[in-house]
Amino acid sequence: MAQLSTKIKKYLAANSVDEVDFLSDVLLQDDGNGAYIKEWNVDGVDKPTDSQLDSYETAANTDEANAVVDSTRKQAYGDIGEQLDEIYHDIDAWRTRIAKVKSDNPKS
């Protein structure tokens, strides 16, 4: 199940809002029964209903899964300085290694 914050980001993006501050624009709270929107301060966009947010579940799950893949790939790629050195010394070995990282960590 996707995080509420991810579904809110998808909802806002669909309403032409590219960035959200979860310390001032949207305040979330979890009272033990699940997260919910405690306060909505986004100008020009109505607070979404649960049904509207639920419609973003699949897209939000994909975004979260791809974020994990991105993080895994970034760690596996290694330091950019080391990559540049590897490219300088043997670009074919670098291409092979990067292709393996991508194939081992496919995106949705």
pLDDT digits (tens, 9 = 90+) for 63-87: 999 999 999 999 999 999 999 999 9
Largest CA distance in the chain: 56
What domain range includes position 86? 4-104
pLDDT tens by residue, 87-98: 999 999 999 999
- What is this structure's pTM? 0.80
pLDDT attached to residue 19: 96
Phi (first) and psi of residue 70, to 5 degrees: -60, -45
Q: Report pLDDT for 63.
A: 97
pLDDT of residue 108: 86
How many structural domains comprise the chain?
1
Tens-place pLDDT, residues 8-19: 999 999 999 999
DSSP string, 18-63: ----TTTTEEEEE-SS-EEEEEE--TTSPPPPHHHHHTTHHHHHHH
**What's the mean per-residue pLDDT of the chain?**
96
Selection from 37, 46, 39, 38 nearest residue 12 by Cα: 46
